[in-house]
């Protein structure tokens, strides 16, 4: 699992760096990282860059993660790109909403590199 191109979507630049670092510490071979501060920026980034994985926060201004996942399914160029949601939301309702909208997994904040690996590797290998 090398040369993974990832898009990290979070309104906090610090959290985007934490996610990137956690991916690397988890042993996931990241070759390129693209960043976006909200779902609208993420959709724009996906029109410019091909990625293998999107890690996306749920709560963001402009366009939240749930709306982003819904919009992503409409994009021919990226509709099959796996999305893993990252959230502070503890309720199962938010998780169900994210998965129903098209996300393939979720990670709850705060998280460890081991938890990132546990949730991301199955998505990348197609072993959900």
Task: Evaluate the omega torsion of the peptide bond into residue 31 and state whether it is cis, within 30 degrees of 0.
Answer: no
Q: pLDDT: is 95 or 65 the higher one?
A: 65
Spans of all domains in the chain: 4-125
Res 83: pLDDT: 92
The Cα 51–Cα 30 span in angstroms is: 11
Is the per-residue pLDDT at 127 higher than 50? Answer: no
The token duo for 5 is: 């191109």
Where does the pLDDT of residue 34 fall: very low under 50, low under 70, confident under 90, or very high at 90 and above?
A: very high
CATH number for the region 4-125 comes to: 3.40.50.2300
Q: What percent of the chain has pLDDT over 90?
A: 55
């Amino acid at each position: 699992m090398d040369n993974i191109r990832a898009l990290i979507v979070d309104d906090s630049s610090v959290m985007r760096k934490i996610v990137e670092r956690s991916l690397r510490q988890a042993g996931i071979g990241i070759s390129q990282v693209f960043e976006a501060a909200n779902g609208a920026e993420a959709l724009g980034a996906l029109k410019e860059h091909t990625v293998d994985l999107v890690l996306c926060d749920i709560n963001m201004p402009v366009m939240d993660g749930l709306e982003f996942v819904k919009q992503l399914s409409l994009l021919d160029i990226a509709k099959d790109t796996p999305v893993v949601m990252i959230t502070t939301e503890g309720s199962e309702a938010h998780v169900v909403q994210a998965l129903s909208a098209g996300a393939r997994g979720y990670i709850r904040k705060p998280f460890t590199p081991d938890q990132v690996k546990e949730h991301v590797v199955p998505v990348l290998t197609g072993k959900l």
